[in-house]
Amino acid sequence: MTCPVLFERLVSMVTREDVENIALLSKLFVPEEELDGLTKSMQEIIDFADTINNAPSADDSFDNINNLSNVFREDEVIPSYSNEEILSNAPEQAEDHFLVRNRE
């Protein structure tokens, strides 16, 4: 068993580096000038989330609501959509493909 108090302290410190790292993972840019403010605000939310670590440890497993299992499709082909439909919302497309043009 992990000591709850120590554990809580360990996990609840949000650093600038943490925020930079999770922003990168989230594919979001955080401007330098917003980094401190965001770190502080993340810290507040994480402190709030941390209250669950005061809860007594219970072995209540949760699988899925309604405990469903074995919901399958049969292996039968359904006609696909046309290329035009598939690409109809693409911001950019060429030669029947979605396209990310190099804008360097």
User: Exactly one of 5, 7, 16, 17 binds another protein (CB under 8 A); which one?
Assistant: 7
What is the distance between the alpha carbons of residues 56 and 1, in angstroms, rounded to a whole number? 12
Best CA proximity match to 83, nearest among 96, 93, 92: 96
Q: Between 7 and 36, whose beta carbon lies closer to another protein?
A: 7
36 or 90: whose CB is closer to another protein? 90
Report the site for another protein in 29-48 (rule: CB under 8 A). Answer: 29, 38, 41-42, 44-46, 48
Q: How far is CA 51 from CA 8, 61, 96, in A?
A: 9, 19, 51
- Ranges within 47-86 binding another protein (CB under 8 A): 48-53, 55, 57-78, 80-83, 85-86
Structure tokens at 73: 């499709």
